[in-house]
Amino acid sequence: MLKDELCGCPFYLFDTLGSTNDYIRENIAFLPDRCIVSADYQSAGKGRTGNSWQGSGDLLSFSVLLKNVTNPVNLTIICAVAVCRALNKLCPLDFGIKWTNDIICRGHKVCGILCESVLKGYTPGEKPTGNIICGIGVNVNQPVSFFERNNLPSGASLYSLTGKKYDKNTAAQYICGELFSLLDENFDKIIQVYKEKCITLGKRIMLIKDGERIEAFAKDLTASGCLVCENEGGTFIVSSGAVSVRGLDGRYI
């Protein structure tokens, strides 16, 4: 393990970990607020719906610990906007957000985000607080052959899209800098930026949960980032949970 600083915060870099999110959870009592844990290789990474994956050395995978968060539900939205802004600084591509937590470029997924809560007790009458672990995985330098070999037709990296290699630590610095800056901003402004970047809105979609499929039109977002949908049954609200979103024509939206 190498301990350093990134954006003025403790930065722990490992050669190999099972999962950076799990490492923080298991050591949360000893780790400081806003610390960053990264690993060149993850053997047991996981996505929002519980899907497992293994991170390669060309993948930037790291987690940020945020302690005593009063609005945990906002963090996935904030992280998505932070990653979009950071990647726009890093390379000359247009990045969008697939609701709720995937970063998309040219129809391909380049980043996934998983925010997990470690809730604490609270005093009645006060806002509950919790510790949030923000896990972020960015496809940085994988070649096209990596996605073909692993049967990931919807995946892409910054390198496969541009033909240029990028420094992973620079990408992490940009993302964490944007994230820490956004934590101090008004969330109403952040959700407006998220809406502008959300490629799911204004499209016909398929909602998939526990094997059930529901067609709908993605109409809007609530103030907290839930998806407002509409179909022949009327208007309804979808929270992220274990719901997957797909385009009716197979597009990754």
Total domains in the fold of the chain: 2
**Helical (H) or strand (E) element with 20:** helix 20-26
Residues in Cβ contact with 249 at an 8 Å cutoff, skipping those fewer than 6 apart: none
Cβ(218)–Cβ(200) under 8 Å?
Answer: yes
Statement to judge: residues 41 and 128 lie in one domain: yes
Give the H or E element holding residue 84: helix 75-90
Residue of higher predicted confidence among 119 and 157: 157
CATH number at 183 reads 3.30.930.10
112 occurs within a structural domain = yes
What's the predicted TM-score (pTM) here? 0.90
51 and 171 housed in the same domain: yes
CB 238 within 8 A of CB 207: yes
Which has the closest alpha carbon to 199: 114, 122, 95, 124? Answer: 95
Beta bridge partners of 151: none
| 53 band by pLDDT with thresholds 50, 70 and 90 | very low
Give 195-217 pLDDT, tens digit per residue. Answer: 999 999 999 999 988 888 999 99
220 in the same domain as 115: no
Q: Is residue 252 part of a domain?
A: no
Residue 209 CA to residue 234 CA, distance in Å, equals 19
Comparing CA positions, the residue from 70, 3, 59, 57 lying closest to residue 31 is 3
Answer whether residue 145 is part of any domain.
Answer: yes
Judge if 187 and 225 occupy the same domain.
Answer: no
pLDDT given for residue 49 in this prediction: 46
Q: Is the pLDDT score of 129 beyond 90?
A: no
State residue 94's pLDDT score: 94
Confidence of residue 70 (pLDDT cuts 50, 70, 90): confident
Let me know whether 191 and 211 are in one domain. no
Enclosing domain of residue 222: 204-247
Task: Clarify whether residues 60 and 185 are in a common domain.
Answer: yes
